[in-house]
Amino acid sequence: MADARSLVKRRAGPRLWLSAGWIGVVALAAVFAPLIAPQDPLAQDLFLGRMPPFWMAGAEPGYWLGTDSLGRDVLSRIIYGARIALAVALVAGGITCVLGAGLGLMAGYMRGWVDTIISRFIDIWMAFPPVLFSILLIAVMGPGLFSIIVAIVVIDWTRFARVIRAEAMGQGAMDYVASARVVGRGRISTMLTEILPNVAPTIVVLLTLEMGIAVIIEAILSFVNLSIPTDDPTWGGMISEGRISINQAWWVLVFPLIALFLTVLAFSQLGEGLKNRYDPVLR
């Protein structure tokens, strides 16, 4: 058993630290964007339009990843775009986790009429097409960061609720839960002190996955001009702009796409690594 546990931790190590390292880099870039960004992300200079990255012929000093069609620095816009991506990931992911996991935990452990009401509500909510529902919500509330967060929470809380409900049901049938109730613990106390710690690894995995999904949703909405209504750079908006000029300036599309892909991948791998390392069953 000890050898198996060590093997799991060794396998989780590189994945955990690489993903956490990349998310840390993105977070530092977002927090210290004014100090790190080499140029003003909104500054335009048509004479510098579509300048290539630094290693290609014709590059302009100080514009490390080139410029877009309006002469704006691609690297600076990626750095500032990380702010919006991480803000959506943290806020929307956190609210979705608390709401969905809380309802799922109550439904799975308390059973009875509580489970019936929550489960029926989940079934009804999941009948709505998520993409169309999100677009409808943003069309009603108007584009903006708040609208995006609300749309993500409203759509994705059911994912947490369904999975945590099933986990709580399985944990509720364990002997340690029966022992806790025998010694006189109340249902709420048992749920918070016995059930919750054992479903926490699953919640962590879902939370990190949800953060990656939130980043993707924000990028998709930015791609179709339903995100931030200002000129603030977003990864999805940069991808949309780069798609138009892919034949003349591929770097405008490729670099924000790489940043988006690595960030989403890091969130998903971080959750799996944390689960493998800190799962109570393995401990």
First-residue to last-residue Cα distance in the chain: 10
pTM for this one?
0.84
The predicted structure's pLDDT at residue 11? 54
SS (H, E, C) 99-161: HHHHHHHHHHHHCHHHHHHHHHHHHHHCCCCHHHHHHHHHHHHCCCHHHHHHHHHHHHHHHHH
Residues 6+ apart with CB under 8 A from 261: none
Radius of gyration for the alpha carbons in the chain, expressed in angstroms and rounded:
23
The predicted structure's pLDDT at residue 60? 86
**Bridge partner list, 67:** 73
The predicted structure's pLDDT at residue 229? 66
The predicted structure's pLDDT at residue 182? 76
The amino acid at residue 34 is: P
The predicted structure's pLDDT at residue 282? 53
The predicted structure's pLDDT at residue 278? 63
Specify whether the CB–CB gap between 147 and 218 falls below 8 A: no
User: Tens of pLDDT along the chain (283 residues)?
Assistant: 445 455 445 555 777 888 999 999 999 999 999 999 999 999 888 888 889 998 988 888 889 999 998 899 999 999 999 999 999 999 999 999 999 999 999 988 888 888 889 888 888 888 777 767 777 787 788 778 888 888 888 888 888 899 899 888 888 777 777 787 777 777 788 888 888 888 888 888 889 888 988 998 888 888 877 777 667 888 988 998 888 888 888 999 999 999 999 999 999 888 777 777 665 555 5
The predicted structure's pLDDT at residue 226? 75
Gap between the Cα atoms of 7 and 1, Å rounded: 10
The predicted structure's pLDDT at residue 175? 76
The predicted structure's pLDDT at residue 81? 92
- Match 């998903």 to its residue by tokens: 268
**Could you tell me which CATH class the domain 2-278 is placed in?**
mainly alpha
The predicted structure's pLDDT at residue 146? 85
Residue of 277, 272, 131 lying closest to 208 (CA atoms):
272
**Bridge partner list, 73:** 67
